[in-house]
Amino acid sequence: MPCLSTQPTSESSLPAPSSSSKADPGPQQISMRSLIVTQDASIIIGRGGAHVNEIRDKSSARVTVSESIPGNPERILNVSGPLDAVAKAFGLIVRRINDEPFDVPSVPGSRAVTIKFIIPNSRMGSVIGKGGSKIKEIQEASGARLNASEAMLPGSTERVLSVSGVADAVHIAVYYIGTILLEYQEKFPAQGGGSYRQSSGGERERRGPPPAFSPSAPPPPGMQQQQIFIPNAFVGAIIGRAGAKINEIRTQSACQIRVTDPGSTLPDGPPANPEERLVVITGYPENIQSAITLLYSRVEAEREKLASEGM
């Protein structure tokens, strides 16, 4: 794995990250999700949650890791809070994976770690920039290397943005990426279901499920809404006989999950794809991530089943 060092520049058009404890910009909150392998998840959590608690204390960010699902090698790491705190937390996460001291700057010989961020496809263009200009600026400013996947995650409208670098490089790159996402949210507040902006009312683990809703209705106060698309071939797998599977996912995630009728789409959204079904998830941020993980797990299990039957 290549070794990268932090390469700050004074000529970038991107804002410089603040080293103060105040969030910049202002009081805005952000939630950033990434996929991590189970082995790294165990390192981040630590025995009895010791490591993740230390990261929370030192960064002042909220850090949660989704439960392990049999057959799924990855888990979802969610970090939320003021942008400064979130960026710092990811830097500390890299240090924890590398078993490095938290208070020592990265050196050229430090091992690079890759963090795979989950970014809605509608926002990825803003992160990449025209002709890749934004990614180039972030790479030059941080010393990290960025790569945006071409394809979306299975049955999803989200893509993976891989950020590779030493702890300080990841810290800086995450700050810049978060700044772009928040700016996008300011310009287009009604798009994307509010995946990145958190409500100001705080969060709790495993809150109760929200009331019923329609795909076009706004989520109840304090909740968020996420939309994903599932190929028709896998809809039966996530619903189950008499709705048994989807009811189980609803219970485990404490989210309201609705598989819409064929041809349904979002207001002002693109035309419906006849080969896909829209799934609308409403709940609190950490619960939504759990629901998405469970849904993806069912899709992958069914995909493997169909592949084995076709052999």
Domain ends where: 146, 172, 194?
Answer: 194
Q: Confidence band (pLDDT; 50, 70, 90) for 35?
A: very high
Residue 202, sorted as left (phi over 0), alpha (psi -120 to 50) or beta, turns out to be left
pLDDT, greater one: 223 or 20: 223
Domain residues for the domain of 289 are: 224-310
In a domain, 14, yes or no: no
Quick one: 113 exposed, middle or buried, by C-beta within 10 A (0-12, 13-18, 19+)? buried
Check whether 188 has a pLDDT greater than 70.
no
Q: pLDDT tens digits for 119-168?
A: 988 889 999 999 999 999 999 999 999 999 998 887 677 899 999 999 99
Beta strand pairing call for 145-148 and 74-82: unpaired
- Let me know: does 238 contact 246? Beta carbons within 8 Å: yes
Q: 55 with 190, same domain?
A: yes
How much of the chain, in percent, has pLDDT values that exceed 90?
34
Stretch 112-119: mean pLDDT, rounded?
A: 94
Q: pLDDT tens digits for 48-63?
A: 999 999 999 999 999 9
- Let me know: does 304 contact 258? Beta carbons within 8 Å: no
Q: 190 with 230, same domain?
A: no
Q: What's the pTM value of the predicted model, to 2 decimals?
A: 0.58
In a domain, 115, yes or no: yes
d(CA 93, CA 79): 10
- Let me know: does 250 contact 238? Beta carbons within 8 Å: no
Q: Confidence band (pLDDT; 50, 70, 90) for 6?
A: very low
- CATH number at 137 reads 3.30.310.210
Count of domains for the chain: 2
Q: pLDDT tens digits for 291-310?
A: 888 888 888 878 777 777 76
Q: 152 with 233, same domain?
A: no
In a domain, 256, yes or no: yes
pLDDT, greater one: 46 or 272: 46
| Integer CA distances (angstroms), 229 to 221, 263, 292, in order | 24, 11, 11
Q: What is the pLDDT of residue 209?
A: 44
pLDDT, greater one: 47 or 204: 47
- CATH number at 261 reads 3.30.1370.10
Tokens of 155: 């049955």
Q: 77 with 186, same domain?
A: yes
| Integer CA distances (angstroms), 206 to 83, 240, 253, 288, 290, in order | 24, 23, 7, 10, 10
Q: 285 with 174, same domain?
A: no
Check whether 18 has a pLDDT greater than 70.
no
Q: Name, of 18-22, 159-163, 259-263, the range with top average pLDDT.
A: 159-163
Q: Confidence band (pLDDT; 50, 70, 90) for 22?
A: very low
